[in-house]
Amino acid sequence: MRKILDKLGFTNTNTERKTVTFGDASVVSAPGGRGWTWLSVGFFIILWCLASIFEWINPIFWPPIGAVWEQFVFIFTEGYRNFTLLEHIGLSLYRVLMGFFIGCLVGIPLGFALALSRVMNRLFDPIVEFFRPMPPLALIPLVILWLGIGESAKIFLLFLAAVWIMALATRSGALATKISKIHAAYTLNANKKQILFRVILPNALPEIFTGMRVCMGVCWGTVVAAELVAAEAGVGMMIMVASKFLSTDIVVLGIILIGVVAYAIDVVMRYLEAKLIPWRGKS
Amino acid sequence: MMKFFKYIAVPLGLMVSANAFALKELNVAYFLEWPSANQVAQVEKTYDERMGLKVNWKSFDNGNQMVQAIAAGDIDIAYSNGFVPQVLGYTKGVKIKVVGVAMTYAENDNCVVHKDAGITKKNAKKLEGKKVASPIGNVTHFKLLRTLKHLGVDAKKVKILPSSNADASSALARGDVAMACGFGGSLVRMKQYGKVLMTGAEQEAIGLKVFDVVTVGSKFLKKHRKVVTQFMQITEDANLAYNRYPARFYKTLSKASGMKMAGTIDTLNKFTFLTRAEQLTNDWMLGGIQKFAKEVADFYVEQGEIPKALSKAKYKKMVDASILGEVK
C-alpha cells in the first residue's frame, strides 16, 4: 500500500522516515507528495470540462474550456489588437520586473537604514508608515496627471507597490539578527562594513527573499490595474478591452496567463532561494 | 442550471440584490456628468412617490458595465445606456431589451484634436501612427471608428489607447495624445485643449445616429411590465416639463449631474429628449433602431472587434416598443 502511494506521488517514504511525524517544516517543502498537487489541479480542470460539456453556466459568466483554448490558439497565431500574445505577456512582464527591480533597489537600502540608524529611522518611519497601507491603485489618478499615460507612469505604480514591502521585509530581516552574532563579529575585530555585509545581510536574506516573493504577487496584481489606463498592449489591457465586448473567454485566458507566468516566476525564485541561501531556517 | 451559478455566486458576494421576488426597491443605472431631464424627477423623488418604491440610483462611468450589471441582476433599468454597449451585450447573448430612447446627443460625444497636433479633417491621415485615447466598445468608440473610416484613415494604424472617459481628457490635457475622445463633462474639458475633428452635425450627415437608450433586463421586463411602464411615464412627463421651459431646471440638473452650471447648460443644449410620439416613429422605435443595431454589429465585425453579428430578425426582437405605446 505504502509503495503504491509512493508511486502515485501521494507520499514519499524516503524523506518522511528521516524525521519526526509532525512539526518539521523542511519535510513539507522537500520533494515528493506531488500526487496531491495533481489531485487539486485535476479536480478543477475536470469540473470545468464537465461544466462545459453540460453547459451548466452561461458563457457570459464563465466560458467553456474549449472556447478559451480556441482563443489561446487564435491569439497566439493572429495576435490581439495589433500585438502578438508574446508581446502582450512580454510587456506586462517588463513592467512588473522593472517596477520590482527599482523597488528593490530603493526598498532594501531603505529597510537597512530604518533598522540600523536611529536618525534614518525617525526620518523615514512616518513616510513609510504613511504610504505602506496606501493601495497604489488609489494613486492612479494622480500618477496619470503627473507622469502621463506612458511606461514611466505604469512602472512608477509598480515601484510604489514594491518599495514599501521590500523596505519592511528588509527591516524585519535586519532586526532579526541575533545581537550575540554581532558581538562575536566585533570581538573578531570586524569593522562596520563587515558587520553589515557579513553578518546582518546574510541574516536578513531569508526575509528579503520572502518579501520579494510577496512583492511579485502584488506587482502582478497592480500591473493589471495599471494597464487598465490607456495601455496599447499588455495582459491587463487584454482583459479590460475584452470585458467591454463581453468576451469572457479572453478575460479568462488573460487571468490564466497571468497565473501561469506568476507561478513560473515564483518557481524560479524558490529555486534561487534554495541555491543562494541554503542556511534558511537553520540558524 | 442557473441555480447552480446562483448558489455559488451568492456566497461570493457577486449578487447583492436579492429583492427580485417582491419588488420593493428598483435599481436604476445612470451616468454621472450626464444631465438628463428626468434627473429632476430623480432628485425630487418623483419616481419613488409615484411608483411607491424605493428607487436606488447607481452611477456608472460606462455603458458596458451597466450591461454587465444587468446581466448579473444588480440593475433593473439602465437609463441612458449607450446604444453601442447595448448592441454588443445583446449580440453576446445578454438578455436585455430597449424600451425607449433616452436622448440624442451628436454634439455631446466627440473626438478632440490637440491644438498642437495640427490635424483637421482635411489631413486626418496624419493620425496614423499617432496616439488617440478613447473609451472602447461604446458610442464614442463607434463614432471614432466610423469617423476615421469616413476620412479615409486606417484605424488599425492609429494607436488607440483604451482609457476611461475621464482618463482620456487627462491624457489630452497633458499633451500625451494627439486626439482624445469622450462624452459629457470630459468632452467639455477636452475642448479647452483643442478642436473637434468633425462636428456632430457633420457626423450625422454621414449617417451616424448618436443616442442613448433605456435598457431593461428581459426577465425583469416580463415580470414587472407595470413598473417599467410607470418608469417610462414619469420620464416622459419630466421630459415634457423640461422641453417646455428648460431654463427652469438648469440649477437642479447642475447639482444632480455634479457639473458646473456653464458645462451643464452647454451639455443640455446639445441634448434632445424625444417625446413618446417622436420615438414611436419609423426613424426610432418602429424600425430605425433595429436597423441601426444591425449596422453597428456588422461594423464591429468588419473591424474585427467581435467574431459575429446576429441576424436582422434577432435585432428586431431587441426593441420593445409596446411599453411606450402604453405611455400617455
Give B174-199 pLDDT, tens digit per residue: 999 999 999 998 999 999 999 999 99
Task: Report the SS3 class of residue A165.
Answer: helix
Which of these, A210, A222, A208, A174, lies nearest to A104 by C-alpha position? Answer: A208
Q: What is the pLDDT along chain A (283 residues), one digit of tens a residue?
A: 777 877 777 777 666 655 566 777 777 777 777 888 889 999 999 999 999 998 888 888 899 999 999 999 999 998 898 899 999 999 999 999 999 999 999 999 999 999 999 999 999 999 999 988 888 888 888 888 899 888 999 999 999 999 999 999 999 999 988 889 999 999 999 898 999 999 999 999 999 999 999 999 899 889 988 898 888 899 999 999 999 999 999 999 999 999 999 999 999 998 998 888 888 766 5
**CB neighbours (10 Å) of residue B271?**
21
On whether ipTM exceeds 0.90, the answer is no
Which overall architecture, per CATH, does domain B107-205 show? 3-Layer(aba) Sandwich (3.40)
Domain B4-104+210-325 indexed as CATH 1.10.357.10: no
Strands B25-31 and B54-60: parallel
Helix axes A235-244, A85-116, angle to 10 degrees: 120
Q: Which residue has the cell 489561446?
A: A72
Rounded Cα distance, A11 and A13, in Å? 6
The reported pLDDT for the residue numbered B8 is 61
What mean pLDDT is reported for chain B? 91
- The reported pLDDT for the residue numbered B4 is 57
| Strands lying side by side in the sheet with B211-217 | B54-60, B25-31, B77-82, B211-217, B96-104
Query: Are B68 and A230 inside 8 Å of each other by CB?
Result: no
Distance from CA of A145 to the nearest CA of B (A): 7
- For the entire predicted model, the pTM comes to 0.84
Closest alpha carbon to A182 in A164, A197, A163, A165: A197
Topology alike, domains B4-104+210-325 and B107-205: yes
Q: Is the dihedral of CA B77, B82, B87, B92 positive or negative?
A: negative
Q: Which fold has domain A63-276?
A: MetI-like fold (1.10.3720)
List strand residue ranges (DSSP E) for chain B, in order.
25-31, 54-60, 77-82, 96-104, 109-114, 131-134, 159-162, 179-183, 194-196, 211-217
- Residues of chain A positioned with their CB less than 8 A from the CB of B156: 82
Instruction: Please report the residues numbered 113 through 152 in chain A whose beta carbons come closer than 8 angstroms to any beta carbon of chain B.
Output: 141, 144-145, 148-150
What cell was used for B312?
Answer: 436582422
Cell of A51: 461544466
pLDDT tens across B75-95, in order? 999 999 999 999 999 999 999
pLDDT value of residue A15: 62
The one-character DSSP state at A195 is I
Instruction: Write out chain B residues lying below 8 Å of A55, CB-based.
Output: 1
Tell me the C-alpha to C-alpha distance, in Å, between residue A247 and each of A2, A71, B81, B210, B234.
48, 10, 19, 24, 36
Phi first, then psi: what are they for A184, rounded to 5°?
Answer: -60, -45
- Tell me the C-alpha distance between B193 and B113, whole Å: 8
| Nearest beta carbon to residue A60 from set B85, B93, B136 | B93
Could you tell me the residue ranges of all domains in chain A?
1-56, 63-276
Q: DSSP state, B319?
A: B
Distance from CA of B28 to the nearest CA of A (A): 20
| Cβ–Cβ contact B306 with A under 8 A | yes
3-state class (DSSP) for residue B131 = strand
Q: How many of the other CB atoms lie within 10 Å of CB of A153?
A: 21
Cα–Cα distance for residue pair A75/B80, rounded to 1 Å? 34
Q: Which among A57, A148, A149 is the nearest to B5, CB-wise?
A: A57
Task: Give the separation between CA A227 and CA A239, rounded to whole angstroms.
Answer: 9
Q: How far apart are CA B149 and CA B204, in angstroms?
A: 14
Of A56, A237, A245, the CB nearest to B137: A245
Interface probe, candidates A149, A228, A237, A239, chain B, greatest B C-beta count within 10 A: A149
Side-chain-side CA neighbours of B57 within 13 Å: the count stands at: 20
Is A57's CB within 8 Å of B4's CB? yes
The pLDDT value recorded for residue A18 is: 57
Mean pLDDT within B60-67: 92
- Residue of B66, B31, B47, B53 whose CA lies nearest to B235: B47
3-state secondary structure of B160: strand
**Which has more pLDDT, B203 or B1?**
B203
Please state, for a pLDDT cut of 90, what percent of chain B lies above it: 87
Check residue A60 and give its pLDDT. Answer: 86
Residue of B nearest to A78 (CA): B304
Residue B86 touches partner A, C-beta closer than 8 Å: no
All structural domains of chain B with their residue ranges? 4-104+210-325, 107-205
Query: What one-letter code names the amino acid at A254?
Result: G
Q: Nearest-CA distance from B213 to chain A in Å?
A: 18
Q: Is the pLDDT of residue B146 over 50?
A: yes
Nearest by CB to residue B137, choosing from A61, A230, A244, is A244
- B186 to chain A, any CB pair closer than 8 A? The answer is no
Integer Cα distance of A267 and A210 in angstroms:
13
- Residue that is written with C-alpha cell 487564435 in the block: A74
Q: Are B197 and B120 in contact (CB under 8 A)?
A: yes
